[in-house]
Amino acid sequence: MLGLKQDMRFALDPVSFAEEAGLAHLDPWQKDLLRSTSRRVIINASRQSGKSSVAAVRALHSALTCPGP
Protein backbone atom coordinates (compact mmCIF):
# COMPACT_ATOMS: atom_id res chain seq x y z
CA MET A 1 0.00 0.00 0.00
CA LEU A 2 1.32 3.41 -0.95
CA GLY A 3 1.55 6.27 1.48
CA LEU A 4 -0.11 9.62 0.95
CA LYS A 5 3.22 11.29 0.16
CA GLN A 6 3.98 8.80 -2.61
CA ASP A 7 0.41 8.99 -3.94
CA MET A 8 0.70 12.77 -4.22
CA ARG A 9 4.08 12.51 -5.92
CA PHE A 10 2.65 10.13 -8.52
CA ALA A 11 -0.41 12.32 -9.05
CA LEU A 12 1.65 15.49 -9.53
CA ASP A 13 4.57 14.04 -11.50
CA PRO A 14 3.79 11.64 -14.36
CA VAL A 15 7.52 10.88 -14.75
CA SER A 16 7.63 9.42 -11.22
CA PHE A 17 4.52 7.43 -12.06
CA ALA A 18 6.15 6.10 -15.27
CA GLU A 19 9.36 5.17 -13.48
CA GLU A 20 7.40 3.26 -10.82
CA ALA A 21 5.44 1.53 -13.62
CA GLY A 22 8.66 0.10 -15.06
CA LEU A 23 9.96 2.74 -17.48
CA ALA A 24 13.12 3.37 -15.50
CA HIS A 25 15.32 4.91 -18.18
CA LEU A 26 13.31 7.64 -19.86
CA ASP A 27 14.81 9.84 -22.55
CA PRO A 28 14.49 13.61 -22.17
CA TRP A 29 11.85 13.78 -24.93
CA GLN A 30 9.80 11.13 -23.11
CA LYS A 31 9.91 13.11 -19.86
CA ASP A 32 8.88 16.25 -21.75
CA LEU A 33 5.97 14.37 -23.32
CA LEU A 34 4.79 13.01 -19.98
CA ARG A 35 4.91 16.44 -18.37
CA SER A 36 3.27 18.22 -21.30
CA THR A 37 -0.15 19.74 -20.69
CA SER A 38 -1.01 19.84 -24.41
CA ARG A 39 -4.08 17.92 -25.49
CA ARG A 40 -2.45 16.91 -28.78
CA VAL A 41 1.16 16.19 -29.60
CA ILE A 42 3.10 14.91 -32.57
CA ILE A 43 5.90 12.47 -31.82
CA ASN A 44 8.65 12.32 -34.42
CA ALA A 45 10.81 9.47 -33.15
CA SER A 46 12.45 6.36 -34.55
CA ARG A 47 11.05 2.87 -34.42
CA GLN A 48 11.31 1.03 -31.10
CA SER A 49 12.01 4.25 -29.19
CA GLY A 50 9.16 3.87 -26.68
CA LYS A 51 6.41 5.97 -28.27
CA SER A 52 3.60 3.52 -27.50
CA SER A 53 4.82 2.82 -23.97
CA VAL A 54 5.00 6.50 -23.07
CA ALA A 55 1.60 7.19 -24.66
CA ALA A 56 0.08 4.31 -22.69
CA VAL A 57 1.56 5.52 -19.39
CA ARG A 58 0.38 9.07 -20.11
CA ALA A 59 -3.15 7.82 -20.81
CA LEU A 60 -3.17 5.67 -17.66
CA HIS A 61 -1.88 8.52 -15.53
CA SER A 62 -4.60 10.82 -16.92
CA ALA A 63 -7.28 8.21 -16.30
CA LEU A 64 -6.20 7.77 -12.69
CA THR A 65 -5.63 11.41 -11.76
CA CYS A 66 -8.03 13.55 -13.84
CA PRO A 67 -11.61 13.86 -12.62
CA GLY A 68 -14.19 12.36 -14.95
CA PRO A 69 -17.42 13.90 -16.20
Lowest mean pLDDT among 5-14, 34-43, 50-59: 5-14
Residues 6+ apart with CB under 8 A from 45: 29, 51
* Inter-axis angle of helices 28-35 and 51-65, nearest 10: 30
Judge whether residue 2 has pLDDT over 70: no
Confidence of residue 46 (pLDDT cuts 50, 70, 90): very high
Mean pLDDT of the chain: 89
Q: Are 50 and 34 in contact (CB under 8 A)?
A: no
Q: Does the pLDDT of residue 1 top 70, yes or no?
A: no
